[in-house]
A and B are shown apart, each in its own frame.
Chain A
């Protein structure tokens, strides 16, 4: 009897199991233990690093952000001189990275969709060309492609004194960059920009109105043509009324280099060419997969309903393909943004080159600089992916 009561000790009178054998308690216990261990490791790592830096006599902390940078940067989107602070230098690097990412994503998406559709084309030549594009570019490492564009294509352009002049001395291409004319706004030019914004706003409003009307009455309205017309016509009218308040600044050869106009540096061009063409080859495959994922029955059903081919593809095929396309597309956008850090190899002043390179070396504060750089990339990536998740939830199939 005594033994059996011992054996049953785990089971209380009420029939409940002892806490040690309760799976819920157990799992909470081990999860808490894991959290404690992880926190402890992180804590030890951080305190160790701080102690070691102090012992080695290396300055630490984030005070350097307010100090004078004292170096120049080749391409700046925001106001920066060598008298600016390290923080401003950081912002210059960050904006340069964001610029490359935004423009790269723009071109990669367009090229990717075009090539992806071309791979499905019934035209033999178009389809084979697209296949060759995809298979070549996605199978060569990106770094090599960047070096190819920078060293093999752009570096062999002529020097400024023998520059290629295009469009009658208004655009110049040489090994220092692409020089475009720049419009400088004079008094009254603000009105033109306002007219442009109004045009764009009206496009959006008309779009919403036409959608609502079509839902109610079934009548359609040429939104695209009207919107485009307004966006072009309104600024044009403002431009004429205010008496053409722009002067065009052309690049010209002066001393060593061309001055004036707007210059797009070869480092920037090589980087954009490299990352957009490379990422586009992956996007093309994603687009192709997305379209092939929509069963042929959908097309047949749409035809049976009497939809025309372009309506079939716009209203039936593409919306369903987008559900398959968006998630992997997000990954490609993230890859592109992170790959832009390869800029350091060709001398484009992105975040890694300016902040993780020059600033790190001039201040010597590797731990701080590298952790901030990592944090910035993490933040950019998380923001991009949360935007794409939001977009995905909008195009996702709503099941009843």
Chain B
């Protein structure tokens, strides 16, 4: 009889737990209450999200999360990072384990609809490429028929690869791993002839191989990979915050506001600058945060051009040119709606 009572009590407790899990509050309120942003990143992709020598996370995707934290708390360190494999990332976001997924994730229609996600813009325009050993003597992806290809599971890469080989009537042997490090070490151990992922990723991974100079990235780009941060559907306020933090960084670059000169620019009389830096209007209040939100983002993290150069740009080991990621006014694709 005691056992039955115990069962009933446990049952009631479990029910209460389920009931509580069913209710969901606004993400911004949750974030403010716990005092930090929980940000989903990769398990280590240099330039985009990887821990540095001191153990701090750095990268283009990481800086977006730091920007969100700066906008809300005025403190770019108010972020906790969850390293996620490609396979885990969407479930982690859907289940509320993370607040924002900033993990070199491709924006596709099915992810935008069926997975219940919203993509808050594109912080890196990428495309899928191939990396091979120079010793193979290959100089085009069209010569890869019969090759063994290393690829990470649960990515758009896996599907593009299939489509590309099929369209060009070539055969290949896929070797699929769940974690990025496993793919890297398998390729490094010559388990595969070819490594395929987003081209930016290939440059980043090449640096970590035992002999980077023995490998080359083939010129072909076989897909469109717009990478951007994603949030859950059904919380428009949070969606707006992430989206506008990204746009604020782009607008700042366009207006020439940098980490260094933002304190001088505060006194600017240009109405565009005044609106961005919170001297005019109540744009911050409209999304539930302080009006100096964009000032904090620029002051503590930087504008888009700055974070690009610092993490993946010409001065870094990755040495990626701005290319299509330049501002629209400089011939690229990066374009932000105006703040007004």
Residues on A facing B (Cβ under 8 Å): 26, 30-31, 33-34, 37-38, 40-41, 44-45, 48, 51-53, 55-59, 70-74, 82, 151, 155-156, 159, 175-176, 254-257, 259, 266-267, 344-347, 349, 353, 357-358, 360-364, 366
Nearest chain A CB to B318's CB is how many angstroms away? 27
Contacts of B15 in A (CB 8 A): 40-41, 44
Task: Name the one of B90, B172, B189, B234 contacting A72, with C-beta atoms under 8 angstroms.
Answer: B172
The answer to whether B146 and A57 touch across the interface, beta carbons within 8 angstroms, is no
The answer to whether B116 and A344 touch across the interface, beta carbons within 8 angstroms, is no
The answer to whether B147 and A256 touch across the interface, beta carbons within 8 angstroms, is yes
Instruction: Please tell me if B80 contacts chain A, counting CB pairs below 8 Å.
Output: no
Task: Name the one of A58, A175, A257 contacting B115, with C-beta atoms under 8 angstroms.
Answer: A58
The answer to whether A26 and B1 touch across the interface, beta carbons within 8 angstroms, is yes
The answer to whether A52 and B22 touch across the interface, beta carbons within 8 angstroms, is yes
**A362 with B154: in contact, given A74-B174, A347-B186 (CB under 8 Å)?**
yes
Contacts of B174 in A (CB 8 A): 71-74
Residues on B facing A (Cβ under 8 Å): 1, 4, 7-8, 11-12, 14-15, 18-19, 21-22, 86-87, 90-91, 94, 110-111, 113-116, 136, 144-148, 153-155, 158-159, 161-163, 166, 172-178, 182, 185-186, 189-191, 193, 232-234
Assembly CA distance A204 to B112 (angstroms)? 61
Give the residue among A45, A267, A347, A362 with the most B Cβ atoms within 10 A: A347
Contacts of A45 in B (CB 8 A): 18
Task: Name the one of A44, A58, A259, A360 contacting B18, with C-beta atoms under 8 angstroms.
Answer: A44
Contacts of A55 in B (CB 8 A): 234
The answer to whether A56 and B11 touch across the interface, beta carbons within 8 angstroms, is no
Contacts of B148 in A (CB 8 A): 176, 256-257
Assembly CA distance A343 to B186 (angstroms)? 15
Closest Cβ neighbor of A27 among chain B residues: B1
Complex A-B: 29 CB contacts under 8 Å: A30-B1, A34-B7, A38-B7, A40-B11, A41-B18, A44-B15, A48-B18, A56-B232, A56-B233, A58-B115, A58-B116, A71-B159, A71-B162, A72-B174, A74-B176, A82-B166, A159-B190, A175-B190, A254-B146, A256-B144, A256-B146, A257-B146, A259-B146, A358-B176, A361-B86, A361-B87, A361-B155, A362-B154, A362-B159
Assembly CA distance A344 to B86 (angstroms)? 14
Contacts of A267 in B (CB 8 A): 175
The answer to whether B176 and A48 touch across the interface, beta carbons within 8 angstroms, is no
Assembly CA distance A304 to B115 (angstroms)? 75
Assembly CA distance A40 to B15 (angstroms)? 9
Contacts of A57 in B (CB 8 A): 113, 116, 233-234
Give the residue among A38, A176, A259, A364 with the most B Cβ atoms within 10 A: A364
Contacts of A82 in B (CB 8 A): 162, 166
Q: Which 9 A-B pairs have the closest CB atoms?
A: A361-B154, A57-B116, A30-B4, A58-B116, A37-B11, A59-B114, A155-B189, A364-B115, A255-B146
The answer to whether A176 and B191 touch across the interface, beta carbons within 8 angstroms, is yes
The answer to whether A364 and B145 touch across the interface, beta carbons within 8 angstroms, is no
The answer to whether B234 and A361 touch across the interface, beta carbons within 8 angstroms, is no
The answer to whether B163 and A256 touch across the interface, beta carbons within 8 angstroms, is no
Nearest chain A CB to B86's CB is how many angstroms away? 7
Contacts of B94 in A (CB 8 A): 56, 58, 366
The answer to whether B189 and A156 touch across the interface, beta carbons within 8 angstroms, is yes
Task: Name the one of B12, B111, B163 contacting A364, with C-beta atoms under 8 angstroms.
Answer: B111
Contacts of A155 in B (CB 8 A): 186, 189, 191
Contacts of A256 in B (CB 8 A): 136, 144, 146-148, 193
Task: Name the one of B22, B182, B186 contacting A48, with C-beta atoms under 8 angstroms.
Answer: B22
**A34 with B4: in contact, given A344-B178, A347-B186 (CB under 8 Å)?**
yes
Assembly CA distance A34 to B158 (angstroms)? 48
Nearest chain B CB to A270's CB is how many angstroms away? 11
**A357 with B178: in contact, given A37-B7, A38-B11, A156-B189 (CB under 8 Å)?**
yes
Assembly CA distance A41 to B234 (angstroms)? 27
Assembly CA distance A26 to B4 (angstroms)? 11
The answer to whether B18 and A357 touch across the interface, beta carbons within 8 angstroms, is no
The answer to whether B90 and A364 touch across the interface, beta carbons within 8 angstroms, is yes
Nearest chain B CB to A366's CB is how many angstroms away? 5
Closest Cβ neighbor of B173 among chain A residues: A74
Assembly CA distance A44 to B20 (angstroms)? 12
Assembly CA distance A356 to B154 (angstroms)? 10
Closest Cβ neighbor of A53 among chain B residues: B116
The answer to whether A358 and B162 touch across the interface, beta carbons within 8 angstroms, is no
**A175 with B189: in contact, given A37-B7, A37-B11, A57-B116 (CB under 8 Å)?**
yes
Contacts of B145 in A (CB 8 A): 255
Assembly CA distance A76 to B175 (angstroms)? 13
**A366 with B189: in contact, given A59-B114, A257-B147, A347-B175 (CB under 8 Å)?**
no
Contacts of B14 in A (CB 8 A): 41
Contacts of A38 in B (CB 8 A): 7, 11
Nearest chain B CB to A86's CB is how many angstroms away? 13
With A259-B146, A366-B90, A366-B94 already in contact, 13 other A-B pairs whose C-beta atoms are closer than 8 Å: A33-B8, A41-B18, A59-B114, A71-B174, A74-B174, A82-B162, A256-B146, A267-B175, A347-B175, A353-B153, A358-B153, A360-B154, A361-B87
The answer to whether A37 and B154 touch across the interface, beta carbons within 8 angstroms, is no
The answer to whether B22 and A51 touch across the interface, beta carbons within 8 angstroms, is yes
Contacts of A344 in B (CB 8 A): 178
Task: Name the one of A41, A175, A353 contacting B178, with C-beta atoms under 8 angstroms.
Answer: A353
Assembly CA distance A159 to B147 (angstroms)? 13
The answer to whether B116 and A358 touch across the interface, beta carbons within 8 angstroms, is no
Assembly CA distance A57 to B230 (angstroms)? 14
Assembly CA distance A82 to B167 (angstroms)? 12
Nearest chain B CB to A215's CB is how many angstroms away? 53
Assembly CA distance A334 to B111 (angstroms)? 37
The answer to whether B4 and A175 touch across the interface, beta carbons within 8 angstroms, is no
Nearest chain B CB to A84's CB is how many angstroms away? 11
Assembly CA distance A259 to B144 (angstroms)? 15
The answer to whether B146 and A347 touch across the interface, beta carbons within 8 angstroms, is no
Assembly CA distance A26 to B161 (angstroms)? 65
Nearest chain B CB to A28's CB is how many angstroms away? 11
Nearest chain B CB to A172's CB is how many angstroms away? 15
Assembly CA distance A366 to B114 (angstroms)? 12
Give the residue among B21, B153, B158, B233 with the most A Cβ atoms within 10 A: B153
